[in-house]
Amino acid sequence: MADSLIPAFGPVVTGEPVEIRPGRVLDVAYQPGTRPDTPVLFFCHGAGGNKDQWRAQWQALAGAGYTLVALDLLGHGASAKPEHEAAYAWAELVDDYLEVLRRYRGERNLLIAHSFGTGLTLSALAQLTQQGQAQGIDGVLLLGTVLNRPEFKSAVLSLPVWLLSLLRPWLAKGFRERAWHPDADPRLIDYEEQLTENNPLYVFKGLSRQARWPTLEQLSSLAVPVSVLSGDHDGLTPASGGEALARHLPNAQFKMLEQCGHQLMLERPEHVLAAIHQLLETVAVERPRP
């Protein structure tokens, strides 16, 4: 099931710390391109992830001359990891995302997000739309997403962090079984699991308790072209949820990737890259040049 485009092992999408808002330091990667006539591409990972999960697509698109921006969300990767739960409130994370867009956006922009990051992306876009500031957002690609806020029903998340730390191997095993296709490269899974150990469990607990999702009314206001991709073996955000989301967006299309789990950009990197190129072509047609 392997794609010919293989994500390398090792850091590729490297950034630098930026105080994006007072007291909130995010690690942001910025790759200036050589194609000013094309949109700036923004990448937003999911809960427990990091910006380097986009490395296969990043390498290919940087080589093609696109301007690229990727961030580690607060509490993830190389970004700051404050311990107080209020730091991970949904509104705070959305404001971080909006400030990244404000600082790095170009005349035209494309937003690409995975899992938890899709909710942040849609919420940020909804806020821009409400404020009349969504001009220049040409299109959105959402991977491993759902219509409604993912429900974290496990009573385990109510346990204190010190106890969750003891249970981390068991939690990692459950995530592996639900997130990855059975045929996914075990070396890739092991590598990604090592990276997630840098994301403290108190961060995930704060995210799970405070996550929000755009309302149906907000979704109906988003007129930009949206592509939704889901894996047919995704045990975290099932494909049915992605299809439902696409139905509630005014200008969206849905596609399911076969033999793929939740980590689409890692398991099917070439297919995700093709989806980015397809969206670039779509927005180039739908948005006439001045």
Question: How confident is the model over 5-48, as pLDDT tens digits?
Answer: 666 677 899 999 999 999 999 999 999 999 888 999 999 999 98
Structure tokens at 193: 């699991």
pTM listed for this prediction = 0.91
Helices (H) and strands (E) in the chain — how many of each?
11, 8
Fold adopted by 16-286:
Rossmann fold (3.40.50)
The pLDDT value recorded for residue 170 is 61
SS3 123: helix
Q: Is 217 exposed, middle or buried (0-12, 13-18, 19+ CB in 10 A)?
A: exposed
Q: Compute the average pLDDT of residues 202-214.
A: 86
User: Contact at 8 Å (CB) between 279 and 139?
Assistant: yes
Residue among 152, 144, 158 at smallest CA distance from 231: 144
